[in-house]
Amino acid sequence: MSVTPGTRAAICLLVLLALAVVACSAEWPMSVTVVIVATPTQVAPQTIATAAPTSGTGDPGTVATPTQAAGPQSAATEVPTSETRDSDIVAAPTQATASPSSATVAPTSPAATQGGGAAAPIPSDPDFLLPDLQTLPPTDLVIELTESDQRLLRFSNSMLNSGPGTLELVGQFNPDSGEIAVTQHIYTSDGTFEEYATGEFIFHVGHDHWHFENFALYEVWSLTPAGDLDDVVALTDKVSYCIRDDARAEIPGAAVEPVYTVCDQDLQGIAVGWIDIYEFDTPGQIVDITPLPDGVYALQSTVDPADQIREADEANNAAVVYFEVRDDRVRIIDSDSISQLPTPET
C-alpha cells in the first residue's frame, strides 16, 4: 500500500497534535500542584501567629514568638520574688536578735556557771589579760533638798580600768528567762578570748538605755574619834551602770581612742586606761542622808561589790572621800584633819 506525500504529512501532523495534547495534559496537573503547595506556604505565617499563645510544646517554629511575648510577663512575675528577697534583708535584724540566743551556750568553762554574788574565780592562765577596776574618789558633792523634805547627797562617781586587759561585757538573750545574760570576754596575749558568765543587762527607764546590774555600791559611814570607818549609816546598793569609755586616763598602755561608747544590750565595757563617769546630776546618783545629823562622814564607793567580774586585783575596788554636812551644805575635807573635827551631833 503506497502512501502519498500528502497523507504522510497529515499523519505526522496528527502525531504532533497527539503529543502536544499529552504534554499539555501532564503540565496542567503539575501547575495545579504548584499552586496548591504555594498557597499553604503563603498562609503559613498566619498559622504561626495564631498558634503562638498555645505554643510551648517544643515546636521550634513557634518558640521565638512566645518567648518574646513572655519576656515582659516573666519580668513582671519576678518582681514579687525580688520583693521577697528585700523582705529577707529587712528580716536580718531578726536573725541578729536570734544570734545572741544561740550564743547562750558559748561559755564552756566551769567558771561560767558561777558569779552573781559569789566571788568570781580568777583565770589562772598567765596569758589572760584581765581588767583592773578601780574606783576613783567621788567628787562634786552637793546636797539636794526635795519637796518631800528629803536630804539627798549627790556626787560624781568614776571607775577606771587600769588594765592590763579590757573589760568587755557581751549580752546574750536567754529565751528561757527572757533576760539578757552577760558574759565577760577575757582576752589572752594571742588575741583569743574565753567567756565567763557575769550577770545581766537590764533596761533602765530613767536613763533610757541598758545597764549592767549591780555594778556599784554607795555607802555613807560614820567615823570613830580616830577617823576610821565605823558603821554604815546610809547606802544605795545594787547600782546599775551603763559601762562605757567616757574619759582617757594618762597612764601607760591606755587605749588611744574609746572603744565602748554605746549603752545597748549587746556590748559594753571599759578599754584599758579609760574611765566610766557618772555625773552628780545623773538620775539615781544619790544617797539619802535625811535621817543623819550634821557632822563628818565618809562616802565610800565600790565598783563590782559582788565580785561578778574577773579582774586582776579585787582589793582596790573601793575609794573613800570624807565630807562634812552643816546646815544642808556639804564640803569635802582632808583625811588628815578628820580627827580634829567634831563628831556628828546626836
Residue among 256, 326, 258 nearest 297 (CA):
326
Q: How far apart are CA 25 and CA 37, in angstroms?
A: 19
What the block records as the C-alpha cell of 32 is: 495545579
What are the tens digits of pLDDT across the range 222-271?
999 888 999 999 999 888 889 999 999 999 999 999 999 988 888 999 99
What are the tens digits of pLDDT across the range 106-147?
233 333 333 344 556 666 566 789 999 999 999 999 999 999
What are the tens digits of pLDDT across the range 184-232?
999 998 888 999 988 888 887 767 778 888 899 999 999 998 889 999 9
Residue 121 pLDDT: 60
Residue 12 pLDDT: 63
Q: Considering the chain, what is the average pLDDT of its residues?
A: 72
What the block records as the C-alpha cell of 234 is: 546610809
What are the tens digits of pLDDT across the range 303-320?
999 999 999 999 999 999
pTM: 0.62
Q: How far apart are CA 227 and CA 308, in angstroms?
A: 31
